[in-house]
A and B are shown apart, each in its own frame.
Chain A
Amino acid sequence: MALGVVGFQARSAESDERTREDAAVRARHGLEEEQSAADRDRAEIERRADAVPEKLGAVGRAMVEAADAQNHFVDVINHGAELYNAGDEAGASAVYQGEAAAALADMERESAEAQRAFEEAQAALQAVEEVL
């Protein structure tokens, strides 16, 4: 009788232990998921944050390219002005219609490029802000 009681008590205690073990395992799985989510979020923040300085560097470079194109345009029109001032109106006109037009097109292209680089950088910045 006593052995039976001991046995049943042990069974009951075992059942309690199993219940607590299950609870601990479930809690651990929950924490594992939380850890994975935290690691994923951190990796995503890193990835997006790394992109911003890179894009910003590209903006700076594009702006410099645009400035170079602008300086080239200024050189060309100065050359046209020199010809004009020297009395070579036809030569000056040819410079403005040819070289200056090409330099202007180049300047427009570089300016648009700089604007695109800026928009990409802004999108990258926005992408980081979304995950913060």
Chain B
Amino acid sequence: MEPTTVEDVSTVEIASPVRRRRVRVVHVVVLSLAVVALAGAAVFAVMSNGEHDAALRARHIAERRLSSQRDETSIAKRKLSTRRLAVRLELATIRAPFASARELGAMAADEVDAARATQAAGADSNASADVYNETVDRSNEIVDRYNALLDKLQKEIDETPGVRGEVA
């Protein structure tokens, strides 16, 4: 074993102290800000995507409801249109009895006039039998036409859809 040589300490060069690189505050701040910004951006992106998804779902729901409403409205309009057409057709069949009833009303007024004349002639002791018979003939003529028209009206009413209750 060789003897250890001891160096003279005075000849030993003193090494300069190792300069440790210090973390600058500014870097920390910048890094922190960057992390915060990144986190914020991430949160913002996630939240925005979430809200976008929610809005998308809401829009889909709204469009589905709109589509369903479109169908319902279309059905309602079709029903209205069908009913209008059906009622127009019903009215076409109803016009005939109306025309007869109008004619019958006018005839009833004539009939009342004729009956009034008959009653007056009968009650008048000065009126001749001829005058009386003339009023009766006129009255009978109206009554015959009235009855014929009444029969026609009854038939027309019977054929009218939806008329409740018997006429006679």
Contact = CB atoms under 8 A, between A and B. Distances in A.
Contacts of A93: 122-123, 125
Contacts of B63: 20-21, 24
Interface in B105-157: 105, 108-109, 111-112, 115-116, 118-119, 122-123, 125, 129, 132, 136, 139, 143, 146-147, 150, 153-154, 157
Interface stretch (B2-10, B17-25, B46-54): B46-54
B65 A17 contact: no
Interface string A27-48: 1100110110011011001100
> Interface size class for chain A?
35 or more
Contacts of B55: 13-15, 17-18, 21
A80 B157 contact: no
Q: Is the interface of A mostly helix, strand, loop or mixed?
A: helix
B163 A31 contact: no
A66 B123 contact: no
B164 A53 contact: yes
12 contacts: A4-B41, A14-B55, A17-B52, A17-B59, A24-B65, A34-B76, A39-B76, A42-B83, A46-B83, A53-B161, A64-B150, A104-B112
Given A28-B62, A34-B77, 6 more contacts: A4-B41, A10-B52, A52-B90, A61-B165, A67-B146, A70-B143
